[in-house]
Structure 1
Amino acid sequence: MKILALLNQDGGTLKTLDLDWLAALIRDEFQVHGHEITVERCKGKAIVDTIRSASERTDIDVLMVGGGDGTVSAAAMALTGKSIALAILPAGTMNLFARTLQIPLDLTEAIAALASGQVLAVDVGTVNGEPFVHQFAVGLHARMVRMREGLTYRSRIGKIIASSRAVFLALKQLPSVELVIEIDGAQQRISSPAVAISNNLYGEGHVPYADDPRGGVLGVYICRVKAPRAVMKLTFDILRGSWRQNPHLEVLTAHKVAFEYNGRHHDKRAVRDGELTRLEPSMLVEIKPQALNVLVPAEASYLVPASEPTVALAK
């Protein structure tokens, strides 16, 4: 296969890596498996435009991106519905979509797993037609990200510390979002500190990410309590994967979720894949089954049984 690897030199852990060493490792590993690969570096300010240009090319089979979670989300948005497959080098803070795909978080191991991997079509969610691979959320998560943006950090550890501070600051003054929400045709009016919708249902026993990238459903999570201590406990239960046991979280699955929001504030009131976005008066969230081609490890546990057809990584 013909592969283009784009390394965001300002993104995630790549800022502190020897990119000459990383590029050589990528080339060597993929060439050993018989693939043609070109490795290019890109500054953070140009990465989105570079990804969009690459997604229009007709001479590559796979676009590999290395950088933070924002880089991965931008690539998924550009490649949804196209034949080019997305390959992820997990160099972000959380690497949640990479975890869903069972890509090793160690870069050396990830490169080896992808070089011998296979292409698979997986689900994406959309918000008013805009794709996301992890989560769309309103309320507490959006406030936390806004507060984190006001804090200074220069490293992965610094971002984790800033995120922790932002969580506590947001919990001290909880938002309350008034929504009319329609889930697969059933409408209800809610007032909640936090509502989130995930691309496939979160797994249990770990940080929030889906275990099956082809489950074909949205996960819907509604916080049903407003007491700060109870919301704080729920937040930590979600982070450690024990949300099923918390009575204050309503969990549903759906194929389509519609929002109506009549609040005064719209700008930066929602989060899509970790990035602040506008909360529109009307929003439609849908699951798009198998709309994104991705390169995944051949050993991933969610792959179909050997008796069923798969798309092997051609050489």
Structure 2
Amino acid sequence: MINLTHAMTATAAPPDATFFIALNAGSGHSETDERRSTIETVLRQAGRKFELTMIDEPGTIDDIAARLAQQAADSGGVLVAAGGDGTINAVARQAVAHGCQFGVLPQGTFNYFGRTHGIPEDLSEAVHALLAARVHPVQVGVINDRVFLVNASIGLYPKMLEEREADKKQFGRSRLVAALSALKTLLSPHQRLRLVLQIDGKPQRLRTATFFVGNNRLQMEQIGIPPLSDALEDGRLAAVAPRTKGKLGMLWLMLHGALGRMGRLNQADELTTFSFKQMEVQVRSLSRRRQVKVATDGEITMMDNPLEIHVMDEQLLLLKPEPKPAAAQ
């Protein structure tokens, strides 16, 4: 489903706007140097002005992104994130806060955000696409004042992400490592969540091992719930909670999630699903703890309980390629 409002409000980016690029140096030195060289070569050949800043330490990303976002806002430039979904999220937060245009050079494992918006995964192709892109407003989700572009989750899924990052540092980044890490996490003891939800003002109780809120059409389509992917085009967020209690059922769900393609599910038997614009989530299974572990676009944060989740009024001004015309029949 195409959001016609978004399509009609797409505008051309200024051809002389400077790109302020934040490049995540999380990979090995040789790979990072190659990525930097690729970006610089394409932009110089195009005669485009740019400033490229390396993010060498994860703890510096917010400060670097804020500085570059301010420069972009002051000069009418474009803030650009080069990295995985977590890097894109951190830089996009500053783009929204400063009201500047935003570009993406996806370099992660799954690249849900870039793939959803038709941005090539090949770096050279992505830079060329950025040069010809138009500005499209993109929906942003918020959970307790923290934005998310792809998803937010609590319960078993954040635990799986923590284990996956640790295993990737030891064994390398691949979907096989992600799947085996998910298997290890699932077979370890875990607690089912007792949740009290207020969904657009209506109460609901839920028990689940993990609670997942999606803001990404591609991921919802891979889960196999087309109505929820359509809801994302209508200014809503999508909620998914596995109902299965058995480890075999959870194994199937989490492994497919770790591989980035969950496959089509029998919603009536396996999942609770719904869409919403605003929701409060009270986690009742935390005893006296007042905070809950939340994953947003792959990054883990402790947040106050209850959680407030909604669609942000402001939209992200994303530079993305125009869709290719359909082939004539």
TM-score by length of 1: 0.83
Correspondence for 1:164:
179
Correspondence for 2:101:
85
Answer 1 or 2: which has greater helix percent: 2
Equivalent residue in structure 1 for 2:53, among 40, 50, 54: 40
1:251 aligned to 2:268? Answer: no
- Give how far 1:124 is off: 0.3
1:224 aligned to 2:243? Answer: yes
CA distance in 1, matches of 2:137, 2:30: 27
Amino acid at match of 1:166: S
Q: Which stretch shows the higher mean deviation, 10-19 or 268-277?
A: 10-19
**Unaligned regions of 5+ residues in structure 2, if any?**
1-16
Closer, same or farther in 2 for the Cα pair 1:207/1:86, shift >3 Å? farther
Closer, same or farther in 2 for the Cα pair 1:237/1:293, shift >3 Å? same
Correspondence for 1:204:
221
CA distance in 2, matches of 1:250, 1:191: 10
- Secondary structure in 2 aligned to 1:105? coil
CA distance in 2, matches of 1:286, 1:206: 21
TM-score by length of 2: 0.79
Equivalent residue in structure 2 for 1:242, among 263, 283, 287: 263
CA distance in 1, matches of 2:32, 2:176: 18
1:189 aligned to 2:205? Answer: yes
CA distance in 2, matches of 1:206, 1:198: 10
CA distance in 2, matches of 1:296, 1:185: 35
- Give how far 1:39 is off: 2.9
CA distance in 1, matches of 2:18, 2:62: 21
Partners of 1:65 and 1:75 within 8 A in 2: yes
Closer, same or farther in 2 for the Cα pair 1:79/1:187, shift >3 Å? same
Q: Which stretch shows the higher mean deviation, 290-299 or 41-50?
A: 41-50
Q: Map residues 1-315 of structure 1 onto 2, 5 A cutoff.
A: 1-11=17-27, 15-19=31-35, 21-28=37-44, 30-31=46-47, 35-45=48-58, 46-57=60-71, 58-151=74-167, 153=169, 157-158=172-173, 160-172=175-187, 173-200=189-216, 202-205=219-222, 214-236=233-255, 238=257, 239-246=260-267, 247-262=269-284, 263-264=286-287, 269-288=293-312, 291-299=315-323
Q: Per-residue displacement from partner, 1:119-147 (whole Å, max 9, x unpaired)?
A: 11110000112111111101110121232
Closer, same or farther in 2 for the Cα pair 1:251/1:222, shift >3 Å? same
Q: Per-residue displacement from partner, 1:231-264 (whole Å, max 9, x unpaired)?
A: 1223345542424434311221110111112313
CA distance in 2, matches of 1:274, 1:29: 34
- Secondary structure in 2 aligned to 1:18? helix
Aligned length: 297
- Secondary structure in 2 aligned to 1:151? helix
Partners of 1:142 and 1:271 within 8 A in 2: yes
RMSD of Structure 2 on Structure 1 (CA): 2.9
Partners of 2:238 and 2:274 within 8 A in 1: yes
CA distance in 2, matches of 1:122, 1:70: 17
Amino acid at match of 2:65: I
- Secondary structure in 2 aligned to 1:137? strand
